[in-house]
Structure 1
Amino acid sequence: MNLHDWIDELCDVLDLETEVDEGLLNDLAEVAHDDVGPRASAVTAYLVGFAAGAADADPAAVERLAAKAQRLAESWDRPAGARDPDDVDDDVPDDEEVDHTLDADEEEE
């Protein structure tokens, strides 16, 4: 597969008039994959592209955006695959000593 040809064809299909530095994006995606996690690679490249498009960025500006994303990925403080601490289930208290006989009556109402 010739990646450059794929990019040219995809840009035609998406009606995009742009140049893409596939080496830059692939390097960034690899860093995000390795330092953040496998699913981070595609979304990182997408968001850098989105930011570049929103800013009508020239190639130098795209490189600066990619460098910002790469610095963030390289300094990411959670190892790849680590759960977000906000998503961790809290301990459920043991309530076997609690009388739940009225709970059934409340559900019927």
Structure 2
Amino acid sequence: MTEPATLDDWTAAVEAALGLAPGTVDTDAVLDLVREVAHGVMRPAGPIAAYLVGYAAGAARTDPHDGILAVEELVNGWESP
């Protein structure tokens, strides 16, 4: 029987599958972003925001941390209906 995979193991496997260098993803920053959006806007918005930050960073070849900061700023000013 093999040991269960950790989040780090999973992240490393996904990075490899996508052709990314090991350690490309800042998992703490992504999890913090998803949590903030999920609690500040609505739960399903968290993963969508994370996807959009990654998509925008890839399309524009920018640092994803800039996108994270922009979305966090948006969440801080968001008023839920």
TM-score calculated relative to the size of structure 2: 0.82
Name the structure 2 match of 1:40: 45
Gaps of at least 5 residues in structure 1 are 83-109
- Whether 1:66 and 2:68 are equivalent positions in the alignment is yes
Q: More helix by proportion, 1 or 2?
A: 2
User: Structure 1 CA distance, aligned partners of 2:40 and 2:19?
Assistant: 31
4+ runs deviating over 4 angstroms: none
Name the structure 2 match of 1:75: 77
Identity score, percent: 28
Letter in 1 for 2:13: E
Cα RMSD (Å): 1.4
Letter in 2 for 1:26: L
- Whether 1:22 and 2:27 are equivalent positions in the alignment is yes
User: Structure 2 CA distance, aligned partners of 1:68 and 1:41?
Assistant: 14
Letter in 1 for 2:26: D
